């Protein structure tokens, strides 16, 4: 869910930059590997934090990019690692867990299906896929992926997402007047970041997707006739 510049700015002005650092760390940590963090605004939050840390940003809230980058990288990698060990502790039985207020089984199964098809690179690609990114490390732990291999993918994904997306926001902040169009830019950047994974999914599952679409269209006339 995208979050606006104004919302974060008001929060930081009310509570200060140090509290903002703690909250940013907690959100990125939770969304990276805690099963209840799937609804948090990861991509838009990173972009907005980067924008606010830009020296040319019109918002003077005291965020420092050299504090943000290592902080968010550590949060992303640590969150994924906790998710991995939670999955390893739970084991395969987690795939039979019932829905609850903070747990949606369909998101976990979607992450497992993606992992089954793409293997270890899921840990990197999932960083740019809302919902999937929260459950991917849990799946990796549950299916007993070797931790050293997982950690390699985790570090690369943490750099690409936690550092890369934040830097995009930082450099966008150097463009005069960008804050007026920042929300559409956030949506565009999220779309572009998801696009490679979406294309990959389409190429790998084209026949299944088309079969599902055809089945839906073929069933509709029958329902209308009834």
Annotate 22-61 with b (16+ C-beta within 10 A) or e (fewer). eebbebbbbbbbbbebbebbbbbbbbbbbbbbbeebebeb
User: Could you tell me if residue 223 is inside a domain?
Assistant: no
**Domain range for 190:** 5-194
User: Could you tell me if residue 78 is inside a domain?
Assistant: yes
Q: What percent of the chain has pLDDT over 90?
A: 22
Instruction: Please give the model's pTM, rounded to 2 decimal places.
Output: 0.75
Number of domains the chain is built from: 1
User: Could you tell me if residue 222 is inside a domain?
Assistant: no
Read off the tokens for 223.
């329902």
* pLDDT single digits (tens) 91-124: 776 666 665 554 556 656 666 776 777 677 778 8
Residue 125 · residue 197 · CB < 8 Å? yes
Q: Which of 1-15, 100-114, 139-153 has the lowest mean pLDDT?
A: 100-114
User: Could you tell me if residue 200 is inside a domain?
Assistant: no
User: Could you tell me if residue 224 is inside a domain?
Assistant: no
User: Could you tell me if residue 132 is inside a domain?
Assistant: yes
Residue 29: predicted pLDDT: 92
User: Could you tell me if residue 74 is inside a domain?
Assistant: yes
User: Could you tell me if residue 208 is inside a domain?
Assistant: no
Residue 40 · residue 31 · CB < 8 Å? yes
Q: Count the Cβ atoms, other than its own, within 10 Å of residue 12.
A: 23
* pLDDT single digits (tens) 149-204: 899 999 999 999 999 999 988 988 888 777 677 677 777 766 766 666 666 666 66
């Amino acid at each position: 869910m995208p979050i606006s510049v104004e919302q974060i700015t008001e929060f930081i002005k009310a509570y200060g930059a140090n509290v903002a650092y703690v909250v940013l760390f907690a959100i990125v940590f939770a969304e990276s590997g805690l099963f209840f963090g799937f609804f948090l605004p990861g991509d838009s939050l990173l972009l907005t934090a980067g924008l606010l840390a830009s020296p040319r940003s019109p918002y003077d809230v005291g965020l420092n990019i050299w504090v943000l980058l290592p902080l968010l990288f550590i949060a992303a990698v640590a969150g994924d690692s906790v998710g991995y060990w939670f999955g390893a502790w739970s084991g395969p039985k987690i795939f039979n867990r019932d829905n609850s207020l903070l747990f949606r089984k369909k998101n976990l199964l979607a992450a497992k299906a993606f992992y089954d098809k793409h293997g270890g690179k899921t840990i990197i690609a999932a960083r740019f896929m809302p919902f999937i990114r929260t459950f991917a490390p849990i799946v990796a732990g549950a299916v007993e992926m070797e931790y050293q291999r997982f950690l390699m993918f985790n570090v690369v994904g943490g750099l690409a997402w936690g550092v890369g997306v934040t830097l995009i926001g930082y450099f966008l902040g150097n463009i005069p007047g960008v804050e007026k169009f920042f929300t559409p830019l956030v949506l565009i950047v999220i779309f572009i970041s998801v696009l490679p994974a979406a294309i990959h999914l389409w190429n790998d599952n084209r026949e299944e997707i088309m079969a599902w679409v055809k089945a839906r269209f073929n069933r509709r006339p029958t329902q209308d006739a009834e």
